[in-house]
Amino acid sequence: MDEPSGPTFHPLRILAAWGVHLFTACGLLTGFMALLAVADHDWRSAIGWLLLSQFIDGIDGTFARLVRVQEVLPNFNGKTLDYVIDFATYAIIPAYFFFESGLTEGTGVWIGTFAILLSSALYYGKEGMVADEQYFVGFPVLWNWVVFYLILVFGFTPAWNLILVIFFAVLHFVPIKFAYPSRARRFKWLTLGFSALTIAAVLILLWRYPEPAPVWRWAAIAGGAYFGIIAVLATWFDGAKLK
């Protein structure tokens, strides 16, 4: 007796679903372009390509829900595809960026690079990286942003750059609740507002690079400080819901 077949979808819906997955996969292409830019020591282009990778990662889920990719292509795991690309663009390429950028020196280059790679790999192996789809538990793998800030915003000495990298590597495994901006509940609009401010500040700093832009530098610092404060408050008031 034949098993009942699954639902049949219009070819355009199937094409749209594959198109979303292809769009997601383009994040790997922009990541590769960032890799080439880092190899050329073109920091401005490298940051631009990594920001484009994050833009793709930020909107592909909306497209996936719009065309219902899981329903149309149930045998294709978009989350696995997303994880592969995210690990490249949020961990491996930023680690290479850090290695090549001269942000630290001597054995510190190797210590910082290995700290980024090993902590990211172990973090991805943890269960419950996202709690209730509101928080990242522990510092999320956002090493691209760490490198952005070290190059565009802070201007620390090599020793302090290494200390900051080790600090965030350890923070992967500390049960601090970091807001998931697109899914925030409490202070939703404030969180989205600071997210927009931070992105705008980094884009303007990138446009002006290497010329100084003090106002936007402080805007980027304010954005980072906001997420740090929210993380401390959410963790301190254990069980609080972001809404």
Mean pLDDT, the chain, integer = 90
Task: Check pLDDT > 80 for residue 182.
Answer: no
Provide CB contacts within 8 A for 72, sequence distance 6+: 9, 13, 14, 16, 17
Q: What is the value of pTM for the model shown?
A: 0.90
Distances in Å between the Cα of 102 and the Cα atoms of 105, 162, 167 are 6, 11, 19
User: What is the arithmetic mean of pLDDT over 194-199?
Assistant: 94
Residues 40-89: pLDDT tens digits?
A: 999 999 999 999 999 999 899 889 989 899 888 888 988 899 999 999 99
Which amino acid would we find at residue 103?
Answer: L
Asked if 34 and 46 count as a contact pair (C-beta separation under 8 A), the reply is yes
Confidence at residue 187, expressed as pLDDT on a 0 to 100 scale = 77
Confidence at residue 159, expressed as pLDDT on a 0 to 100 scale = 97
Confidence at residue 31, expressed as pLDDT on a 0 to 100 scale = 97
Q: Pick 128 or 188 by higher pLDDT.
A: 188
The answer to which of 30-34, 174-178, 200-204 has the lowest mean pLDDT is 174-178
Residues 117-162: pLDDT tens digits?
A: 999 999 998 877 776 657 888 999 999 999 999 999 999 999 999 9
Based on its alpha-carbon atoms, the radius of gyration of the chain, rounded to whole angstroms, reads: 19
Confidence at residue 238, expressed as pLDDT on a 0 to 100 scale = 58
- DSSP, collapsed to helix, strand or coil, labels residue 233 as helix
d(CA 235, CA 36): 39
pLDDT category of residue 242 using cuts at 50, 70 and 90: very low
